[in-house]
């Protein structure tokens, strides 16, 4: 043990590197935290896609409205 970590022997004690000892509970917690992070990242990506689609839809609606108003104005002028 080196500073509470198990030493990994690859050639001798001079090359020993500390390797953390995980408990099963720590691994489960780490996996759950990673799933939680992935879930939030996925949610953000989904929200961005929805916002982009809505923005495109709103722009198309605005163009239709402007075109309709221009058509009405041109009809009134002529």
- Condensed to tens digits (0 to 9), the pLDDT of residues 24-72 reads 677 777 888 888 888 888 888 888 888 888 888 888 898 899 999 999 9
Whole-number pLDDT of residue 19: 55
Average pLDDT over residues 2-12: 54
In whole angstroms, give the CA distance from residue 71 to residue 77.
10
Whole-number pLDDT of residue 65: 92
Identify the CA nearest to 21 among candidates 9, 10, 5. 5
What is this structure's pTM? Answer: 0.42
Whole-number pLDDT of residue 16: 55
């Amino acid at each position: 043990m080196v500073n509470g970590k198990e030493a990994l022997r690859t050639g001798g004690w001079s090359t020993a590197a500390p390797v953390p000892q995980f408990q099963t509970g720590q691994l489960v917690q780490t996996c759950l935290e990673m799933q939680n992070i992935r879930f939030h990242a996925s949610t953000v990506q989904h929200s961005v896609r929805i916002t982009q689609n809505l923005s495109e839809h709103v722009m198309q609606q605005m163009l239709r409205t402007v075109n309709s108003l221009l058509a009405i104005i041109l009809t009134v002028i002529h």
